[in-house]
Structure 1
Amino acid sequence: MSNELTPIDDSALPQHAPRATDVHPASEKRAEQQVAILFGLSGFGSLLLIYSYIFVKDTVFIFIPIMGNQNAQQLGIGIGMAMSLFFIGIAAIHWAKTLMPDKEIVNHRHEFRSSDEDRAELVQTVKEGVAGVQLGRRKLIKRSLGAAVGLFALPPVLLLRDLGPLPGKKLEMTNWKAGTRLLTDPGNRPILASDLEVGSVVQVLPAVADMEHRPLSDIAKDPVLLIRLRPEEFQLEPDRLAMTHEGIIAFSKICSHMGCAVALYEQTTKHLLCPCHQSTFDVTRAAKVIFGPAARPLPQLDITVDAEGYLVARAPFNEAVGPSFWERNSQ
C-alpha cells in the first residue's frame, strides 16, 4: 500500500469553503496582526511573572494596598503565568484556524517499514507543511512568536532560584526569646495569668517592634496556643512541668506533620487536633502524639510572668517549630 499523502475524496466530505483570509488580503493581514497581539500578550504575562517574582516583594503595591507585598507578589506571579500560557495557546489556535492551510489529507500506512521512496516523499511532505506555515513571509508573526516563546522560557529558569540556597537555621528561629511578652491575636494585648480561666484557650503572638506589620514568614512560625488546666491534670516530666505557670501551658500552633494550624481543642479530653490530617496531641502529656501522622509532639514554649504579672516567655521553644523537614531529622 502506498504511503503517499493524497487529498480525501471530495465526494465523502462537505464542499470546502474558503476562509475570508484565503480570499481577502485585508482579512489575512488583520488575522496576522491579531496573532501577533496574542503572542505579545503572552510575552507581557511572562514579563509580569518575572517582575512580580523579583521586585514586588520589595516595593509597595500601590493599587492593592490591603493585600500586602507577599500576597501581591503571589497574585502577580499567578496572573502572569496564566496570561503567558493562555495567550500563547490562543495565538497558536487562531493562527492555525485562520492562516495555516486547511486542506484535509489522508496518510495511507502499512505495518512494515516504508520504502526509501515513500520515506523521501514523507520528508518532502513535511517540508511542504512547514512551508505552508508561511513563517518566511509572515515576519510579524515570526517575530512576535520568537519573543513570546523566548520570554515564556525565562520564568521556569528564574523559578529555579527557589531550589536554593537551603534555609539553614531560618526555619528553626522564631521571635520568641527570654522576656518576650505574649500578646493576644488579634488585639495585641498583653495577658495576665488571671485573665485565663480553667479550660480556656487563647492564641498569642510575641511582642515585636512593629506589631502592625508582621511579615507572613513570622506569622507562619510564631503563633502559640495558651491552654489553662488544673495543675493536677498534668502528666508531665519535671522539666516540662517547670515550663508551665499555674496550670497555663503554651504550645506552638504549627503542626509538626505538615505545618497546618492546630486549631481544634477538645476540652473534655484535653486534646488538640490538626484539621488537615487529624493528628491529635494530648495537652496533659506535653502534646504527645496519640493519633495521626505527626511524628513528634508540638514544641512547648517556656513561660512565666514578669514584674507586672503579664505572661512572658522564659526561653525560646524547646525545639524547632513546624514540620520535620530535612534539617530536623536528628530530632
Structure 2
Amino acid sequence: MIEELINEGQYSAALRELNDLSDEKTRLLRLVCLNALGEYQQAKTEGMLAKAKAGDTYYDVVAQYVMTLKETGDFEEAINILVEELSMPYIPYEYESTFNAAYDEILLAKQEVNYDLESKSQIFSTEEIELILQRDDVNEDLLYMALDQMQQLNIRMLIPSIRNYLRDPNKPPFAKTLMMELMIEQQIDEEFEVAKNNTYYDFNPSYMPLVLAQTAYMGIGKKLQSALEDENPTLLNQCVDYLEYYLYHIYPKEIYEEDFGVIAAALHYYVATLQNIGVDKDDIEIDYYVDFKDVERQVLALREIE
C-alpha cells in the first residue's frame, strides 16, 4: 500500500504511514518521500542515520542521501561519499552508473555555484580531477572544465593520472592533446606513451612544440593560402580551421614536409565538398603539385576523424 501511494505521487500520505524507523526499508522509503517533498534538511538528518544502519538497502539509501546533499548544497560531503563508493573494488553495475551520473550532476552544480561566487579557480580539487580522468564515461562538459582548471595547477601533481590517460586508446584524442600542451607549457621533462588512432607515440613535453607552433601548421597553411587567398578567402579560413582540428586530433604524429601539399590539397577538396562547392580535380593537382590519387587517400584519413 505504501509503495502504491509513492508510485501515485502521494508522498505526504505515504510518509504518515512510514513510522517504524527500526526497519531499514522504512528508512529508505522515508528518504524517497522527503526528497520528493523537498524536505531536504529533514532528509539529511534521517539520511545520515539510514546510511549508517543500512544493510540490503545500502546502495539505494546512498543514492537518495547524495541527492539530498546536492539539494542542501553540501557538495563536498556528497562528492566524498561518491568517491569512496566508486573507489570500492566492487559495486553493482546499475549502482555504479547511478553514482557516476550523480557525481557528474553534483560537480556541475558545484561548478555553477562557484562560478556565481566568482571562485572559478576552486571548482575541482586535485582528487576530483584525478577521478574525472580515470572514468571511462565522463560527462564531456566535466572533462573540459577539469582540463581548463588544470591550467592553473602544478601539473606535476597529476602526472600518474595523465600518464594513464595518454596511453589509454579509448580516451578522446583532442583531450589528450590539450593535456600534452599543458605539460609543454609547464616544461615537464618526462617520457610518455600516447595512444592515438591505433598507433603509439613516444612523447616528451620538454622538446615538443605546441600544436600550432609546428612547422606543419605553417607549411600547410601557406600552401592553402597560395591556392585560396585570392580565389575564396572564406573557404581559406574554413580550411585553416579544419587544419587546426586535424592537427589537434593527430598530435604528436609528425608530418613531413613532402606531405604538406597532399594534406593541403585534401583539406581544400574535403572542406569544399562539405560546403557543396565544386572543385576541379585537375585544378587541385596543378595548385598543389600533387597526384589526385594521393589526395583521395588523404581525404579518407580526414573522414575517419569526424
Normalising by structure 1, we get a TM-score of 0.23
Q: Report 1 or 2 for greater relative contact order, CA contacts < 8 Å, sequence distance ≥ 6.
A: 1
Structure number with higher strand proportion? 1
Structure number with higher helix proportion? 2
Q: Which has the larger radius of gyration?
A: 1
